[in-house]
Structure 1
Amino acid sequence: MAEKRVTNPKSKAKPVRRKHYSAPALEKGLDILELLAKEPEPINLKEIASRLNRSVGEIFRMLAVLEQRSYVRTGDGDERYQLSMRLFQLSHWHLPINRLTSAAVGPMRRLALQTGQSCHLTILSGSRVVVIARQETYKDRSFAMRVGAESPVLSSCSGRIFFALADNFTRQALLEKIRDDDGSAIKSEKIVELEDTLQEKSYLEIPSEQVDGILDIGTPVYDHEGSVAAALVIPFLHRIDKDNESELGMVRECLLQAAKEISEKLGFISSI
């Protein structure tokens, strides 16, 4: 049975535009971390400085501090830099994410076993959604999102869930952020209309906008206050050797049950 969410009063207040501040040293350090996060292989000091349009001297000092704090590392006898696991550890020390992933481990594992499909859990971060946990299936063929993968709010199943169920203040803040990031907000009005669908069915299905043959099926996960804490999504992989329509019914039911279990672990109490 579809569970009803607890709604909070919708605020009419407008988001406040924050003043832009500059902290050059911090910005340089963050630029280095973001660059190394995107590099598949370690790179040396000159390459880092060149890509960031900085002098070798200023980058060297920043790298020295980052290495002392264990955010970057080099191989034995090597002068090429790469990220350590420090940021990964920090993300899991963060209490809300830790609580979410801990609550989701069991239900997500059962969901993958029951459906033969992979699943992932996302949270809202700025104008994007980020995968914080995933569970792959035992099947030989599957499609899975990696932990840390990001997607635009208005172009992903989980992002549309967050946007459609947001209160007015959060929704306007998201639109401001999307515009600041040079994104398109044209889809926003249609996405707001999805709230009725989510209230009625408790899940959302949309074809993937990135991968052919994938149907994203998502449902919200609620916290103890009745707010959307995360979205649980199955990237349903269509098989030409199976009756996908009959399988979809089972997948939807298992997905809703898994989300209900996670929500209850977070303290959510259904009104029915």
Structure 2
Amino acid sequence: MNDDKTRRKPANSEADDERKYKAPALEKGLDVLELLASSREPMTTSQIAARLGRSVSELFRMVLALEYRGYIVPAEGRDGYTLSNKLFALGIARAPTKTLIELALPVMSALAREISQSCHIAMASGDQIVVIGRIENPGDLGFSVRVGYRRPLIKAASGLALYGFQAEDTQAVMRGQLAAAGEAALAEFVTRAEAARAQGYVRTPSDFIDGVTDLSAPLVGTRGAVAALTVPFVRYQPERCTVDEAVEKLCAAAAGLSTKLRQHSL
């Protein structure tokens, strides 16, 4: 963790120091957004200033401007700010992501009906996964993950699929992004991802929801895994679909979607 009295700098800060053109005000705003994106808890202006090594007066107007433009919002029932979904909305409006969602949602809807489970798709965003689309269980009960949900990539079933089904050069870049998790955690993650690639999918008990088995398969485009299609499998009584049946149908859906992605050069 950064010292609160040390200004937070990106990994390429030396190169940044040599740039010919700089935009200090813009960069302060980006620092605030990146900090809030990495924090699981709301942060007050004072906390933001301390973490960035700046004064409160220096950031006060910047925080107000970001709130006015809708990029950050006051936390409900708590002090401080959190990110809104505005950046996420801008991201999914990009043509490639929009096309992915348009192609995936009908397939996901059919899969949810077949297996009586919810499903979602997630993409890699730095060292995290972010859910960009979901279909809920068509039945009366179910477990689903909200759109915009983020989780450390190294701790997610989707992360195993997103890393495991990449080219070696892409994996090397991703390992650099995940290095902060520590050597032991990263080594375990890589081993699990290699096993997932060998069998073609991920099947693992959820590490934060008892009774849920995470099933995940890659959506492979022209340059490796574009996204991961994931089913948080919940066992019902009476059982409507076994986990083995769900894995089979999930993999078939992912394979079909992968073909469509390559046809669209994604």
Q: TM-score range by the shorter chain?
A: 0.7 to 0.9
Pick 1 or 2: higher relative contact order, CA cutoff 8 A, min separation 6: 1
SS in 2 for 1:147: coil
Partner residue of 1:169? 169
- What RMSD in Å do the two structures reach over aligned CA positions? 3.3
Partner residue of 2:138? 138
Give the whole-Å Cα distance in 2 for the aligned partners of 1:31 and 1:81.
Answer: 14
Aligned residue identity for 1:211:
I
Aligned residue identity for 2:186:
A
Partner residue of 1:19? 12
SS in 1 for 2:122: strand
Alignment of 1:26-37 (within 5 A): 26-33=26-33, 35=36
Partner residue of 1:4? none
Aligned residue identity for 2:160:
R
**Cα separation, partners in 2 of 1:178 and 1:214, compared to 1, 3 Å:** same
State the shift of 1:109 in Å.
1.4
The question of whether the paired residues in 1 share the 8 Å contact of 2:160 and 2:192 is answered with: no
The question of whether the paired residues in 1 share the 8 Å contact of 2:127 and 2:153 is answered with: yes
The question of whether the paired residues in 2 share the 8 Å contact of 1:222 and 1:268 is answered with: no
Partner residue of 1:11? none
**Paired positions, count:** 236
Aligned residue identity for 2:177:
K
Residues 70-93 of structure 1, C-alpha deviations (whole Å, 9 max, x = no match): 53579xxxxx97766532431222
**Cα separation, partners in 2 of 1:148 and 1:192, compared to 1, 3 Å:** same
Give the whole-Å Cα distance in 2 for the aligned partners of 1:106 and 1:142.
Answer: 19
Give the whole-Å Cα distance in 1 for the aligned partners of 2:232 and 2:169.
Answer: 30
Residues 159-190 of structure 1, C-alpha deviations (whole Å, 9 max, x = no match): 11222222222222222221145572130234
Partner residue of 1:236? 233
Normalised by the length of structure 2, the TM-score is: 0.73
State the shift of 1:217 in Å.
1.1
Identity of matched residues, %: 31
The question of whether the paired residues in 2 share the 8 Å contact of 1:117 and 1:235 is answered with: yes
Give the whole-Å Cα distance in 1 for the aligned partners of 2:40 and 2:223.
Answer: 39
- Aligned with 2:250 (options 255, 259, 270): 255
State the shift of 1:119 in Å.
0.3
Partner residue of 2:114? 114
Give the whole-Å Cα distance in 2 for the aligned partners of 1:146 and 1:111.
Answer: 18
Give the whole-Å Cα distance in 1 for the aligned partners of 2:254 and 2:121.
Answer: 10
The question of whether the paired residues in 1 share the 8 Å contact of 2:119 and 2:231 is answered with: yes
Q: Which runs of 5+ in 1 are unaligned?
A: 1-16, 42-46, 75-79
SS in 2 for 1:193: helix
Q: Which runs of 5+ in 2 are unaligned?
A: 1-9, 18-22, 75-79
Give the whole-Å Cα distance in 1 for the aligned partners of 2:199 and 2:167.
Answer: 16
Aligned residue identity for 2:234:
L
